[in-house]
Amino acid sequence: RQQYVGKLKFASLEASQGSKKLVVATEKNVVAALNSRSGEILWRHVDKGTPEGAIDAMLIHGQDAITVSNAGRILRSWETNIGGLNWEMSLDTGSFQVASLVGLQDVVKYVAVLKKAAISLHYLSNGHQKWVEHLPGSESTQYQLLYSHGTGVIHVLGIVPQSHLNVLTFSVEDGEITKQISVAAPWLKSLNGVCSVVGEAVLVCVDVDTHSLYVCSLETEQEMKQILLQSLDLEFADGFQPRILATQPNVISASRTQFFLQLSPSHFSLLQYKHGLLSHLRDFQQAALVSFATTGEKTVAAVLTCRSELKPGSSDGLHAGSTLEDSRKQESLTCSNQTYNINLYLVETGQRLLDTTITFNLEQSGAKPQQLYIQVFLKKDDSVGYRALVQTEDHMLMFLQQPGKVVWSREESLAEVVSLEMVDLPLTGAQAELEGEFGKKADGLLGMFLKRLSSQLILLQAWTAHLWKMFYDARKPRSQIKNEINIDNLARDEFNLQKMMVMVTASGKLFGIESSSGTILWKQYLRNVKLGSSFKLMVQRTTAHFPHPPQCTLLVKDKETKMSFLYVFNPIFGKRSQVAPPVLKRPILQTLLLPIMDQDYAKVLLLIDDEYKVTAFPATKNVLRQLEEIAHSIFFYLVDAEQGKLSGFRLKKDLTTEESWEVIIPTEVQRIVTVKGKRSNEHVHSQGRVMGDRSVLYKSLNPNLLAVVTESTDTHHERTFIGIYLIDGVTGRIIHSSVQKKAKGPVHIVHSENWVVYQYWNTKARRNEFTVLELYEGTEQYNATAFSSLDRPILPQVLQQSYIFPSAISAMEATITERGITSRHLLIGLPSGAILSLPKALLDPRRPEIPTEQSREENLIPYSPDVQIHAERFINYNQTISRMRGIYTAPSGLESTCLVVAYGLDIYQTRVYPSKQFDVLKDDYDYVLISSVLFGLVFATMITKRLAQVKLLNRAWR
């Protein structure tokens, strides 16, 4: 199991050299502490995955972390050493704006929370509310900023857009408004990012239209003072919204008088406003990110720059926001050699500190840095030392120390796996030699003999190397023996239990992970993937076709433009394939992986666009000829959930399509939720079930069957329903339809062999239920040799039964094995993070209420409406998976074994044995006894043979 926290939203690095933890809050609604020496998770709290659990702010004071979540409704305090909850408070509803710690005479005692219409002050020790005050004129005024610096007052800044600023001053003791001023600012639209407080409560705002800064003291002045930037020889980049970044190292003392002004995506200026004068300290022309950090009395500015020149590039995947973190984002710049420097500068003078450069390289991933956090500490000689935490746009975290050593890195994009496939590992050189020996026609007898000799020599060489390694490792202590898996020594094991897991994440990053150890062997970042894109991963060629490399194709579809592109790569090494995929000029609606192959053993991929035109990949002459031959048997379906339409098409010989059927589901009554077909790699071992009277009940095995789930649009608990339709994908014939009244989703469904299992919420009985459907042809088969959807005059018999399940469900999948002999189990992911392995026999619609002789003969369990959750059926024991989103199953080389990967916030891989390990010798198998018996029998045979010969000889002499 591997655990993740997700993309960082807030992070706090302790400012001491010996500190061991970083406290983070993430976009996945997780609060966690990471070990700063190894990157491991020390503790983690996962909130709800919905917007209710979203963390809006995080403040750190000493050993406490204060978080505001659920749009400002919940205030929590965490103990950062062990992750315990100190206290939790519910706040009044209202649009959350900002939270801040408030100090009084050198002690931080309170936390202030600013909402749209009110401000409240809470004690830091227990969370109790000291006072809450309504903000005057909150209907027209947008209150967005909060500032205090230990003087016993809190300044709240509100804005009436393009009119004026309201500055309210509250007393910390009783919440009384001691001062209220209005400052004219007709050019100001918002405060976030545009304004900041520096020095002794001086508000500095930037205006792009007049190319100037506006300054106003919150305590003494009542009007804005304009300072033109031309006087400092600074100017803004066209079309860029400039931002101000200030710092307040301690809430009981004033902010620093120095601040950063961002003039363009890669241009920052360090300015100082002191005693009414604005001075320019230093210019940073090629800066990607900037950050302030303080240790003791020293405040430094960290600047991340590109070693070569920054070039304007695409701003894919980045969206301009207006928070402080966003203001540090590099918006549309590419660093040509992917090498970056971080330098420290003293804020008072803008002077660069010597020996503080960290150099690091992002060439492997090709992603740009997105956030920078600095941990500064004073060394024994009073010089400044620091470590840096960099987050890149592909959600990778790197913790760096001088002069550029990567202490650790974490791949946080794996918290959002969206697609997954398992690929067999390649053969070793020796195995490949043997394959080659039998797989090709050699030149005559001599050639074959020489090939045999060479392959035997290679095998001998591999065997001696293995023996030498065993002998060498035997002399070492066990702790020093490293069984490191890297891309060079990857090889298929005897039973094909180790596989390559190819994972696609929501950020557009691809990973190759070795399944038995979880080692990331390769990673690839697709830069042009936008946020919210959908992915489909297909294996076109496996490792079985040596010497052709395996090939995977990823279809990426943009959420907004609906345009798609194909990315073809080798799943074992992660390298981009030499094969050029077709350029897709129209949005793709459906993809089909056909069983036909080109001359290089790559399966043919059909892509259907929104004009119902078909593109084949690869599109060689051989493929097109094969397509023409089998075009009459290629059908596909399209689903338009918005219009409630399912339509079937067939392929013509000239690779055009024509509609063959259409099913309309009225959208005003119900909407299509899921359409689920069967897995193409599924094998069915037995065609029927032997009943108690020795007759056979034949399964209805229609490979073209689709299970369509619909939900009612009416959400009233008395009128909600769930509909299920079993539709033949070739003819459009509705084979079965049923409605579950007073039921609602989310619906989880598994469709396999001749059965469908789906789970829903029963609103009347207020419980989770399973319904199972099984399809049978009867005691006689209509056509035992071939199946055709076009020739099925008799509808199958449908058996249906429901069961009560005591828990909600996060994910559901069925086990799969190579030959389909092993009995099937349902793998059910529970919200608690456990995976339950439930035998399919428990969800059998033929379970009798009153057992008979025949049902006992058939081993049918008597019907009981409850399905119990037994803890011994959990396949992941205490290795829980937070916020599980999916379960993937794959067959192994052993018929008894199925490989399982569960993914969500964590990734977990294991093996399951639904029918126990019937094809493997047990661990307690008595080899000594069996061997001694065998040797005894051989010895006895030899003696009896000799005695028989002597007997025969004696008889012959008589």
pLDDT, tens digit (0-9, with 9 covering 90-100), for 259-287: 988 888 888 899 988 888 888 888 888 88
Distance CA 597, CA 540 (A): 9
How would residue 222 be classed by pLDDT, with cut points 50, 70 and 90?
confident
Residue % of the chain over a pLDDT of 70: 94
Q: What is the mean pLDDT of residues 499-522?
A: 91
How would residue 58 be classed by pLDDT, with cut points 50, 70 and 90?
very high
Q: Which residues pair with 889 in a beta bridge?
A: 900
CB 835 within 8 A of CB 874: yes
CA distances from 103 to 415, 511, 824, 858 (A): 38, 47, 63, 76
How would residue 429 be classed by pLDDT, with cut points 50, 70 and 90?
low
Highest mean pLDDT range out of 78-87, 851-860, 935-944?
935-944
pLDDT at 433 (0 to 100): 60
How would residue 479 be classed by pLDDT, with cut points 50, 70 and 90?
low
Q: Does position 448 have pLDDT exceeding 80, yes or no?
A: no
How would residue 289 be classed by pLDDT, with cut points 50, 70 and 90?
confident
User: How far, in whole angstroms, is CA 716 from its chain's centroid?
Assistant: 34
Q: Which residues pair with 704 in a beta bridge?
A: none
Enumerate residues 6+ apart whose C-beta is below 8 A from 362. Answer: 335, 338, 339, 340, 368, 369, 392
- Report the length, in residues, of the chain: 958
Q: Does position 328 have pLDDT exceeding 60, yes or no?
A: no
pLDDT at 738 (0 to 100): 93
- CA-CA-CA-CA torsion sign (485, 816, 907, 868): negative
Q: Does position 945 have pLDDT exceeding 90, yes or no?
A: yes
Q: How many CA atoms are closer than 13 Å to the CA of 437, on its beta-carbon side?
A: 18
Distance CA 99, CA 57 (A): 7
Pull the structure tokens for residue 626. Answer: 């094969």
Phi and psi at residue 208, in whole multiples of 5°?
Answer: -75, -30
- Long-range (24+ apart) CB contacts under 8 A made by 610-615 are 610/562, 610/586, 611/586, 612/649, 612/656, 612/657, 613/586, 613/656, 613/657, 614/651, 614/655, 614/656, 614/657, 615/582, 615/584
Closest of 310, 257, 250, 253 to residue 284, by C-alpha: 310
User: How far, in whole angstroms, is CA 24 from its chain's centroid?
Assistant: 18
- pLDDT tens digits along 732-788: 899 999 998 999 889 999 999 899 999 999 999 999 999 999 999 988 888 888 888
The more confidently predicted of residues 431 and 156 is 156
Q: Does position 442 have pLDDT exceeding 60, yes or no?
A: no
The more confidently predicted of residues 940 and 430 is 940
Q: Determine the angle formed by the axes of helices 444-474 and 429-439, rounding to 10 degrees.
A: 160
- CA-CA-CA-CA torsion sign (78, 84, 86, 87): positive
- pLDDT tens digits along 699-722: 988 899 999 999 999 888 888 999
Distance CA 228, CA 210 (A): 8
CB 260 within 8 A of CB 372: no
How would residue 315 be classed by pLDDT, with cut points 50, 70 and 90?
very low
For residue 174, count CB atoms less than 10 angstroms from its CB and return exposed for 0-12, middle for 13-18, buried for 19 or more.
exposed
Mean of per-residue pLDDT scores for the chain: 86
Which conformational region is residue 817 in: left (phi greater than 0), alpha (psi within -120 to 50 degrees), or beta? beta
Q: What is the mean pLDDT of residues 540-545?
A: 86
- Long-range (24+ apart) CB contacts under 8 A made by 575-579 are 576/524, 577/549, 577/551, 579/551, 579/618
Q: Is 949 helix (H, G, I), strand (E, B) or coil?
A: helix
- pLDDT tens digits along 804-818: 999 999 999 999 999
Containing H/E element for 160?
strand 153-160
CB 65 within 8 A of CB 76: no
pLDDT at 309 (0 to 100): 56
CB 414 within 8 A of CB 395: no
CB 553 within 8 A of CB 572: no
Least confident of 14-28, 71-85, 479-493, 750-764: 479-493
The more confidently predicted of residues 512 and 403 is 512
pLDDT at 45 (0 to 100): 93
- pLDDT tens digits along 555-592: 999 888 888 899 999 999 888 888 888 888 888 888 99
Phi and psi at residue 450, in whole multiples of 5°?
Answer: -65, -40
Instruction: Work out the angle at residue 474's Cα, subtended by the Cα atoms of residues 472 and 475, and round it to the nearest 5 degrees.
Output: 75
Distance CA 450, CA 429 (A): 17
Enumerate residues 6+ apart whose C-beta is below 8 A from 286. Answer: 266, 305, 306, 309, 310
Q: What is the mean pLDDT of residues 5-19?
A: 80
Distance CA 809, CA 487 (A): 37
**Pairing of β 298-306 and β 339-346:** antiparallel
For residue 57, count CB atoms less than 10 angstroms from its CB and return exposed for 0-12, middle for 13-18, buried for 19 or more.
buried
pLDDT at 482 (0 to 100): 55
The more confidently predicted of residues 444 and 382 is 382
- Strands across the sheet with 588-597, in order? 588-597, 603-609, 614-617
Number of helices (H) and strands (E) in the chain: give both, helices first: 6, 64
